[in-house]
Structure 1
Amino acid sequence: MSKPSFSHLLHLLTPSLAPSFPHIAPDCVLAAALFRLAHAAIARRFGIAPLEACRAFFAVCKAVVDNLGHLFELRTGSERVVVGFGLSSLPNCFGVLGLARFRIDDSLLGQNGCLMVQALVDSEGRFLDVSAGWPSTMNPETILRESKIYHEVEEYKELLNGPCYNLHDGNLIPQYILGESCFPLLPWLLTPYNSANEEDSFGSAERAFNCAHGNAMELVGNAFGGLRARWQLLATSRKWNLECIEHLPFVVVAGCLLHNFVVKCNEKMSDEGVGKGCLEKEEGFPAFDGVGDENAVRVRDALAMHLSRMSSRK
């Protein structure tokens, strides 16, 4: 993080940090916490004892969540998000939904146990919505249906309730997000066409949709890759011990907000960080085994035809 970005972050968080650490300068508190998040280690260079450094770390995470929550712009940046995806010929798209695993040392969840994080990402690689802390014993469909974003769309009708987009052929496309194949196909959640042999069974429209969908899904992988590369405490290779598991969802959310903060500040990832992120590929999830919603099938087919026509003009 550059000095100007650090100074800006310090300005935003100092009112929340200063009362808890009257004898430690806020810049030392913040620097020690960011060092731990970035390097998965406690540094002594800031003149803070290890115990105080741990307390400072969680205080900074809390301050980030309390003060930077507006950087999840699902409700406030919808116009920017739609325009961004429109540049990729995805009209009325409000983001890309995916999952990531964070390993934990908990025998109750098995040898490869982990906590799952569901995240919605925009075309710039910013997190729009994050739901963290789901045990790996839950399948993706259950996680989706238990998450806040699902209830705000399905029950409260607070999200994705805007006007439809009128395609040139007269078909109407409602507001939607793209989701991994592990999720069910819904009118507002469009997943890829599934087939054992795509080349033999798919026409140009299905292939065009799956190509655009696959490119969009890379945004989620890149966002999590950037998160893990910049904040090594959240690296794929790291396994959280049992005593710290309850704090992991909180730290992940703070890390996602800080990720958005540095992206908004136009901070570039170092070559070393990019290399680390590329090495940590997320393992895929099994495809959803169920019947797709009929309205969703019609929406996806209409969008697939639109994408096919767009690709043929290039």
Structure 2
Amino acid sequence: MSEPSFTLLLRLLTPSLDSAVVSVAPTHVLAAALFRLAHGAPYKSLARRFGFDSSADACRAFFTVCHSINLKLGHLFELRSDSDRVRTDFGWLSLPNCCGVLGFGRFKVSGEILGQNGSLLAQALVDSEGRFLDVSAGWPSNLKPETILHQTKLYLGVEEARDLLSGPCYELSDGRSIRQYVLGDSCFPLLPWLLTPYAKPKEGDGDGGLISEEMAFNAAHRRAIGLVGMAFGRVRRRWRLLAKEWKEECVELLPFVVVTCCLLHNFVMKCSEPNVEAYLVPLREGEEEEEEKFPVFDGDMSESGEKVRDALAAHLNRVCLRR
């Protein structure tokens, strides 16, 4: 993080950092927390480097900063506040009225609490540039994606409160209109507001058996769905504490740190910091990112969702024919 961005962040979080550790200046408290996030440094190392009296003080300072970031920067999840920009920016994929792309990030946890190769999942909605619009973290990896979805504030905001994705419909050139929607991977159910790819009717690579409209939709969907992995990949590269395997005794704190890092990711984008690929080395062995693989949803599909997807697929096919 550059000095101007650090100074701005310090100003935004002050005075909440003043009481973190009385003997250590807020500048050092914030620097220590960012250093731990960026390098995965243990608290003992933070104490030596930044002047804390003990590892316990360093730990308290770290979580004070995380709490303050969650409290002061929560507005950077902009699904509600900046939906017009989000929809407009999906124009590069010819996806009118699209409000984001939904997927998962996986964070490794050691021990037996989550079983062999256990992890915690974070469901995230991202925009066309990889900003996080909504994050729900802390779900055990043995839960089905649709089970997680139904318990998130995003789902409740659309289906029950009806204060999300409730804006005006967009009229297509053929006279059909489509409501606001998000794209989701095939592990999710097809809903009127959550559009998943068309299933391939036969085994094998490619889109064999799909008609041109369905292929056009799946092609646009593939380009968009990669935005989730890109966003989580950048988070892991910049904040390497999340690239490490967490001990099971710390598992309750992991979701809190995940959300903190997602907010910091949005903050550095807002500050126009360069993408991490430009200057950070690749992840080390044992820190590799895993491509998320979940079983294809095999439940009932929404008829209304099928109509919205078909209308969008026809639009995308017309766009392809004009190119």
Sort the TM-score into its range (normalised by shorter chain).
over 0.9
| Structure 2: tracts of 5 or more residues without a match | none
CA distance in 2, matches of 1:270, 1:160: 33
Residue deviations 1:74-132 (CA, integer Å, cap 9, x gap): 10010110000123210000000001111112413211111111000001110000001
Q: For the Cα contact (< 8 Å) 1:65–1:257, is it kept in 2?
A: yes
Deviation at 1:272, TM superposition (A): 4.8
CA distance in 2, matches of 1:135, 1:241: 14
Equivalences for residues 105-120 of structure 1 within 5 A: 105-120=110-125
Q: Which of 242, 250, 253 lines up with 1:247 in the alignment?
A: 253
Letter paired with 2:257: V
Letter paired with 2:140: P
Q: For the Cα contact (< 8 Å) 2:136–2:152, is it kept in 1?
A: yes
Which residue number corresponds to residue 50 of structure 2?
A: 46
Which residue number corresponds to residue 62 of structure 1?
A: 67
Name the SS of the counterpart of 2:282 in structure 1. Answer: helix
Letter paired with 1:4: P
TM-score normalised according to structure 2 size: 0.93
Which residue number corresponds to residue 307 of structure 1?
A: 316
Which residue number corresponds to residue 286 of structure 1?
A: 295
Which residue number corresponds to residue 27 of structure 2?
A: 27
Q: For the Cα contact (< 8 Å) 2:20–2:60, is it kept in 1?
A: no
| Structure 1: tracts of 5 or more residues without a match | none
Deviation at 1:289, TM superposition (A): 1.0
Deviation at 1:24, TM superposition (A): 1.0
| Range that drifts further, 296-305 or 102-111 | 102-111
Taking only aligned residues, the RMSD between alpha carbons, in angstroms, comes to 1.6
Q: For the Cα contact (< 8 Å) 1:225–1:281, is it kept in 2?
A: no
Which residue number corresponds to residue 6 of structure 2?
A: 6
Which residue number corresponds to residue 190 of structure 1?
A: 195
CA distance in 2, matches of 1:183, 1:102: 20
CA distance in 2, matches of 1:147, 1:264: 26
Q: Which of 268, 277, 280 lines up with 1:273 in the alignment?
A: 280
CA distance in 2, matches of 1:52, 1:94: 42
Deviation at 1:19, TM superposition (A): 2.2
Between the aligned residues of both structures, percent identity stands at: 59
| Range that drifts further, 14-23 or 161-170 | 14-23
Q: For the Cα contact (< 8 Å) 2:106–2:290, is it kept in 1?
A: no
Q: Please list every run of at least 4 consecutive aligned residues from structure 1 whose deviation after the TM superposition is greater than 4 angstroms.
A: none
Deviation at 1:64, TM superposition (A): 0.2
CA distance in 2, matches of 1:149, 1:26: 35
Name the SS of the counterpart of 1:20 in structure 2. Answer: coil
Which residue number corresponds to residue 92 of structure 1?
A: 97
Q: Which of 256, 265, 270 lines up with 1:259 in the alignment?
A: 265
Deviation at 1:135, TM superposition (A): 0.9
Q: For the Cα contact (< 8 Å) 1:226–1:274, is it kept in 2?
A: no
Which residue number corresponds to residue 208 of structure 2?
A: 200
Residue deviations 1:264-313 (CA, integer Å, cap 9, x gap): 11111254536339952423211111221011111101101100110111
